[in-house]
Amino acid sequence: MVNLTEKELERYDRQIRIKGIGVDGQLKIKNSRVAVIGIGGLGGISSMYLVAAGVGFVKIIDFGRVELSNLNRQLLYSEEDVGKLKVEVAARKLESLNSDVTIEAVNEYVSEDNIGRLIGDVDVVVDGMDNFKTRFIINDKCVELGIPFIHGAVYSFEGRLMTIIPGETPCLRCLIPEPPPEHEIVPVIGPAPGVIGSLEALEAIKVILKIGESLKNKLLVFDGLNLEFHTIPIEKSPNCPTCSKIK
Amino acid sequence: MKITVKAFATFREILGQTGQLNIESPTRELDIKTLIEYLVEHLGVRFREEILDENGMVKKNVKILVNGRDIDFLNGVSTKLKDGDIVVFVPPVAGG
């Protein structure tokens, strides 16, 4: 394992000082590989924190272009970026945030055909999606390959968060057995994905470091309107079509 | 018997911005099924469409909690309610 440079020791000084991280923990972060799928309200924020924390390899996957209506919450993008490919703008901004991190920008629509290739080389997958059809594709492949999957979603002033450790915790299909009807346009206030995207990055870092208590077997419901955090115990579904395939 | 009903996301909008209803039930016997019937009657068609499928069953994607416990691990829609219980409806949300 390579050591940290003088510059890295200075850059990550405030987190290296945390009991439970230290230089060894920072090296684990440096040697980790994370995919963030969907670089919008959730994925934009979580990718910024992961890159800032020094995750060595961050793969960002999206198939959209920046729209004016993204700018109330997707803080990676500016007015001048409207119309440009999200992954290209995001990669440039993330590289300027931390040039030590390798960013791989993938401009592809996630499907059952490419998901194995897209996430097969990472340690953790972070959910930045805006629909359950794609989330289920990601969930199923993460469970199959044994890759931790940090699920996040938002609506209005609310958010949801769940950490899925294949073989150990319920998966997304245990929580939501059928894809719910998709709302074409979801109402969202910017800080809601800010909160959930930040917590997704936090959970991913904890999974990498194997410290603390991850949000396992629980769904976090963030109620921004009343400023309350609720956790709901979630159990594995005996009828889950995805989990039941794990030996 | 007093029951507090809370709801999130699309359900919350049906209940009003506070997302909370305080219900005083004249009957002493109340379970989740009869509570839903009461709510459908008082909140109208939108609540019914959000919570029930075409067969009149509670949609599998909706979590219903009684005092923080999922009714799937209690007695389902037959879970009995008692005075002071808090019932929470949690529909899935998809935004990113």
- β-bridge partners, A46: none
What is the CATH classification number for the domain harbouring B60?
3.10.20.30
Q: Which chain B residues are Cβ-neighbours of A232 within 8 angstroms?
A: 63, 65, 68, 70, 90
Number of domains in chain B: 1
pLDDT value for A121: 97
Q: What span, in angstroms and rounded, lies between the C-alpha atoms of A208 and A35? A: 13
Query: Token pair 């995805």 is at which residue?
Result: A242
pLDDT value for A182: 79
Q: Is residue B45, in this structure, part of any structural domain at all? A: yes
Q: Is residue B53, in this structure, part of any structural domain at all? A: yes
Distances (CA, A) of A112 to A132, B34, B73, B85: 13, 42, 33, 44
pLDDT value for A1: 57
Across the interface, whether the CB atoms of A155 and B95 are under 8 A apart is answered yes
Q: Is residue B72, in this structure, part of any structural domain at all? A: yes
Q: Is residue B42, in this structure, part of any structural domain at all? A: yes
Between residues A181 and B48, which one has the greater pLDDT? B48
Read off the pLDDT band of A164 (50, 70, 90). Answer: very high
ipTM: 0.88
Mean pLDDT of A157-163: 98
Q: Is residue B96, in this structure, part of any structural domain at all? A: no
Single out the residue of A127, A112, A105 nearest to residue A61, CA to CA: A105
- Chains A, B: CB pairs < 8 Å: 88
Q: Which of A110, A156, A173, A195 to mutate to test the interface with B (most CBs of B within 10 A)?
A: A156
pLDDT digits (tens, 9 = 90+) for B33-91: 999 999 999 898 888 988 999 898 999 899 999 998 899 889 999 999 999 999 999 99
Q: Is residue B95, in this structure, part of any structural domain at all? A: no
Contacts of A30 (CB under 8 A, 6+ apart): A2, A4, A8, A54, A55, A56
Across the interface, whether the CB atoms of A160 and B93 are under 8 A apart is answered yes
pLDDT digits (tens, 9 = 90+) for A48-78: 999 999 999 999 999 999 999 999 999 999 9
Q: Is residue B57, in this structure, part of any structural domain at all? A: yes
pLDDT value for A184: 77
In chain A, the domains with their CATH numbers are 32-245 (3.40.50.720)
pLDDT digits (tens, 9 = 90+) for A197-245: 999 999 999 999 999 999 999 999 999 999 999 999 999 988 899 998 8
Range of the domain at B62: 2-90
Mean pLDDT of A2-14: 94
Question: For chain A, which residues lie within 8 Å of any Cβ of chain B, measuring from their own Cβ?
Answer: 38, 40-43, 127-132, 135, 152-156, 158-160, 175-178, 180, 182-183, 186-188, 193, 219, 221, 223, 225-226, 230, 232-235
Q: Is residue B8, in this structure, part of any structural domain at all? A: yes
Side chain identity, residue A196: I
Nearest CB among B69, B93, B96 relative to A158 is that of B93
